[in-house]
């Protein structure tokens, strides 16, 4: 047993699942393919790690995703007809459990999370077109949230809590500045996130508002945001310190150590066998806070261009000012670049050229000294 909730519900870690067995009647709203939607006849909920083995992809053990989840419920000794569940590729050992309380109100967020390979921004290009029925694959990287509320909520309040949960999840990712793997945008979640929210129908305490202005909404926001951040760090090490990197910040726009190497080696092919030494050298710049700070501002200007919040002229001018400051830090003479292509392409190329120039002048000297 992992813990017992104030409602009397019990949280278990069994095999590769987190399971909550109810001690009474609950109102449940679930994205699960097994008994999903709004129901009042659910006796247990679960979050399941569907990987075949550590480090491998998810694998269905039945012809359909729904049948797979039914099998998982039955193997745990649950009544599959009265169980709903969600699946992920995250390890259940990396679960985060966060509770919030105020007066008689108590709630608990139980979260597993990973977006290193599947993080995306709403509106990104789709991975598939669904028509009629299809077998659903579960890509690596899913944020699964189970929210247990020890209070009585009407169906509309339960639905409103879904919005608050989603906002809290997105806020957690935004505060980590994690980028989408499918576009240049900041991630808002993964493409396979799941949520189960349930309320205690037997509670004498009734709550009709789960929005941000209500205390219930505040507690949901705090619990979910904290749990999502903790789960992301446990699963993949995603945390503020890890994000303090010009490459972690810049990779959504193609700014990576690999890209810098490719640009450098294109004109220095004789150094082809020095990649490891190069990577070691470039890492000395990666986490310098002044460079991370300026890079972050630079990227946000590009974001605002894409969001149509700033003009091309303004973005080009202020990106130039930031590159000048970066040049000063790197000890390089500053040269403004002429307009050649689109704003994004020009600004990214100009940024990368700065670091390629720095590598050429400083890394090569280091090699020569050796």
- The answer to whether the beta carbons of residues 354 and 323 sit under 8 Å apart is yes
* Adjacent-strand bridge partners of 147: 109, 197
Question: Which residues, 6+ apart, have CB-to-CB distance to 130 below 8 Å?
Answer: none
83-105 pLDDT per residue, tens? 999 999 899 999 999 999 999 99
* Adjacent-strand bridge partners of 216: none
- The answer to whether the beta carbons of residues 271 and 359 sit under 8 Å apart is no
| Per-domain boundaries in the chain | 3-238, 246-369
Lowest mean pLDDT among 149-153, 177-181, 363-367: 363-367
Task: Copy the structure tokens of residue 120.
Answer: 């995306």
Lowest mean pLDDT among 115-119, 123-127, 306-310: 123-127
200-220 pLDDT per residue, tens? 999 999 999 999 999 999 999
Q: Rounded CA gap, 107 and 147, in Å?
A: 7
Lowest mean pLDDT among 217-226, 291-300, 347-356: 347-356
246-301 pLDDT per residue, tens? 999 999 999 999 999 998 888 888 888 889 988 888 888 999 999 999 999 999 99
Query: Degrees (nearest 5) of the Cα angle 25, 195, 133?
Result: 105
The CATH code of the domain at 3-238 is 3.60.70
In the chain, the percentage of residues whose pLDDT exceeds 90 is: 73
**338 band by pLDDT with thresholds 50, 70 and 90:** confident
Q: What is the mean pLDDT of residues 70-89?
A: 95
- What's the pLDDT score for residue 271? 84
State yes or no: pLDDT of 224 exceeds 80: yes
């Amino acid at each position: 047993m992992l813990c017992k909730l104030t409602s009397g519900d019990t949280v278990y870690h069994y095999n590769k699942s987190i399971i909550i067995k109810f001690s009474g009647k609950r109102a449940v709203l679930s994205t699960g393919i097994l008994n999903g939607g709004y129901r009042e006849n659910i006796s247990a909920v679960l979050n399941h790690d569907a990987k075949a083995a550590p480090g491998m992809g998810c694998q269905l053990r039945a012809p359909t995703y729904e049948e797979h989840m039914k099998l998982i419920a039955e193997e745990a000794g649950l009544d599959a007809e009265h169980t709903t569940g969600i699946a992920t590729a995250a390890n259940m050992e990396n679960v985060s459990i966060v509770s919030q309380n105020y007066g008689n109100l108590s709630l608990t967020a139980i979260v597993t999370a990973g977006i290193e390979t599947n993080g995306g921004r709403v509106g990104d290009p789709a991975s598939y077109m669904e028509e009629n029925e299809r077998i659903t694959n579960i890509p690596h990287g899913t944020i699964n949230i189970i929210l247990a509320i020890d209070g009585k909520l009407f169906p509309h309040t339960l639905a409103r809590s879904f919005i608050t949960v989603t906002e809290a999840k997105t806020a957690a990712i935004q505060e980590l500045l994690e980028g989408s793997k499918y576009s240049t945008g900041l991630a808002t979640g993964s493409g396979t996130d799941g949520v189960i929210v349930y309320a205690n129908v037997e509670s004498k305490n009734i709550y009709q508002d789960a929005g941000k202005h209500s205390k219930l909404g505040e507690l949901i926001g705090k619990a979910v945001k904290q749990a999502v951040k903790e789960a992301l760090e446990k699963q993949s090490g995603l945390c503020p310190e890890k994000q303090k990197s010009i490459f972690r910040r810049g990779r959504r726009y193609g700014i990576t150590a690999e890209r810098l190497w490719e640009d450098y080696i294109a004109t220095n092919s004789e150094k082809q066998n020095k990649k490891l030494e190069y990577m070691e050298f470039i890492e000395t710049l990666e986490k310098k806070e002044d460079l991370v700070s300026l890079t972050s501002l630079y990227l946000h200007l590009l974001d605002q261009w894409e969001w149509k919040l700033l003009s091309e002229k303004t973005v080009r001018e202020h990106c130039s000012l930031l590159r000048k400051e970066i040049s000063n830090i790197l000890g390089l003479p500053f040269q403004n670049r002429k307009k050649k292509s689109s704003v994004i392409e020009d600004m990214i190329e100009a940024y990368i050229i700065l670091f390629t120039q720095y590598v050429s002048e400083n890394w090569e000297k280091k090699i020569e000294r050796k």
